[in-house]
Amino acid sequence: MITQLRHTGLVVADLDKALHFWRDVLGFQVARQMEESGPHIDAMMGLRNVRVTTAKLTAPEGGMIELLHFHSHPDRPVWTGTPHSTGFTHVAMTVVDLAATCKKLAVEGVTFFAPPQLSPDGNVRVTYCQGPEGVLLELVEMLRT
């Protein structure tokens, strides 16, 4: 039935700030950015008079995030869920050097729940952090393949 996961959508309050974080800090590339409105997007969203800017960003080795900034239907400026909240909670990404990544993200104002942890099987080092607009990120460094 399902052949692949296309992308994960992330609604953002500040598109410029989100693009800076995902593109300039994390290294995603903008594959497509567009303004969307009209009957098609209204029908798809079940709303009226939708105006949204979307930006699809690709990771260097695969995977896609879609940033959505709603001009017409703004919501809260920050996501307030937790790692144990019901529903989607975080975006997990593989990194090359977790220590260096954590240092770079800390400079950008990202907060960490705890220092990186070694998995019980010793295969990965992992940490959770909270980025712009409250988005939770899981960063994983593969130690063994």
Tell me, yes or no, whether 124 lies in a domain: yes
Q: What are the helix (H) ranges across 1-109?
A: 15-19, 39-45, 98-107
Q: pTM of this prediction?
A: 0.90
pLDDT at 145 over 80: no
Q: Count up the domains in the chain and report the number.
A: 2
pLDDT digits 0-9 by tens, 4-20: 889 999 999 999 999 99
CA distance 34 to 108: 26
Q: What is the pLDDT of residue 83?
A: 85
103 with 62, same domain: the answer is: no
pLDDT digits 0-9 by tens, 93-116: 999 999 999 999 999 999 999 999
In our burial notation (b when 16+ CB lie closer than 10 A, e otherwise), range 4-33 reads: eeeeeebbbbebeebbebbeebbebeeeee
64 with 94, same domain: the answer is: no
List the domain range (segments joined by +) for residue 134.
90-142
pLDDT at 136 over 80: yes
